[in-house]
Amino acid sequence: MPEKQPNSRMCFVCGLQNPAGLKMAIYNDVENRQVVSTVIVPEHFQSYPGIVHGGILATMLDEVSGRAVLIDGSDENLMVTVKLEVKYRQPTPTLTPLTVIGQVVSMSDTRAKVHGEIRLPDGTISAEADALLARPPESIRDNWENERQYWKVVPDTET
């Protein structure tokens, strides 16, 4: 069974107390060296009727590909995105189970290149992204300490 990554309190993607958020659960797939999330995007995040807004797709790709650096279970690898390139392959439907996958391409102590994909139920890639991450400045890391108490693994039965 895949190991679940922590959720936060107010993050738009994974925050469980954010009333406007996606509340995504992200899991480590250690065997395949990737992180995975399954999400059904509600209609209120659409652009054209029945189609997920591209900004929401980019947000999901940013989060899940960036979470790939945490696959070893250490929060010390948290990084921030400094560059994100998204390729939209085809429209992504709302109200459909989507699989979002993130993986590390390469990583050093201060930077990482990551890749993400959104797959439709038949396995077709609807959108993908390549990103460059960097270790955040100390001021951001210090500010993170106030939120660390809310950064925890919440069993699926509680979400």
Return the structure tokens found at 15. Answer: 């925050």
- What digits encode the pLDDT tens for the residues 102-146? 999 999 999 999 999 999 999 999 999 999 999 998 888 787 777
Chosen CATH of 3-146 out of 3.20.20.10, 1.20.1250.20, 3.10.129.10, 3.30.70.1560: 3.10.129.10
- CA-based end-to-end distance of the chain: 18
Alpha helices in 7-105 (DSSP H): 54-67
Residue partners of 114: CB distance under 8 A and separation at least 6: 65, 66, 68, 69, 102, 103, 104, 105, 130, 131, 133
- What digits encode the pLDDT tens for the residues 16-32? 999 999 999 999 999 99
- Residue 54: DSSP 8-state: H
Residue 159 pLDDT > 60, yes or no? Answer: no
